[in-house]
Structure 1
Amino acid sequence: MTFTWTAHRFAGGTLALDVANSVILRFDPERRIDRFADVAALDAFAVAANQFCAESPRFGTLLPVSERNRGRLLTLREATDRHFRATVTAGHRPELMADLLEAIASVLRGAGNREQALALDTATAHSALSLAASPEPERMKICPNCGWLFLDRSRNRSRTWCDMAVCGNRSKARRHYHRSKEEAGK
Structure 2
Amino acid sequence: MTFSWTPHRFSGGVLALDVANSVVLRADPERRIDRFADPAVMDAFAAGANRHGAERALFGPLEPVAPEARAGLVRLREAIDRHFRAEVATGTRPALLADLLEAAAATLRLSGERPQALDTATARSAVLLIARPEPERLKICPNCGWLFLDRSRNRSRAWCDMAVCGNRAKASRHYRRNRGEERP
Shorter-chain TM-score tier: over 0.9
Question: Which of 118, 129, 132 is the equivalent residue of 1:131?
Answer: 129
Aligned Cα RMSD in Å?
0.9
TM-score, normalising length: structure 1: 0.97
Identity level (%): 68
1:32 aligned onto 2:27: no
Deviations 1:68-107 (A, max 9, x none): 1111100010000010011111133442000000000000
For structure 1, which runs of at least 5 residues remain unmatched after alignment?
Answer: none
Q: Counterpart of 2:63 in structure 1: which amino acid? A: L
Q: How many residues align?
A: 184
Spell out structure 1 runs of 4+ moving beyond 3 A: none
1:158 aligned onto 2:156: yes
Q: How does 1:60-75 map to 2 (within 5 A)?
A: 60-75=60-75
Q: In structure 2, how many angstroms separate the alpha carbons of the residues matched to 1:17 and 1:176? A: 30
Q: Counterpart of 1:40 in structure 2: which amino acid? A: A
Q: In structure 2, how many angstroms separate the alpha carbons of the residues matched to 1:172 and 1:92? A: 31
Moved more, 160-169 or 83-92: 83-92
Q: In structure 1, how many angstroms separate the alpha carbons of the residues matched to 2:125 and 2:131? A: 10
In structure 2, the residue corresponding to 1:51 is in which secondary structure?
Answer: helix
1:178–1:77 Cα change, 3 Å: same
Q: In structure 1, how many angstroms separate the alpha carbons of the residues matched to 2:49 and 2:98? A: 27
TM-score, normalising length: structure 2: 0.98
1:4 aligned onto 2:4: yes
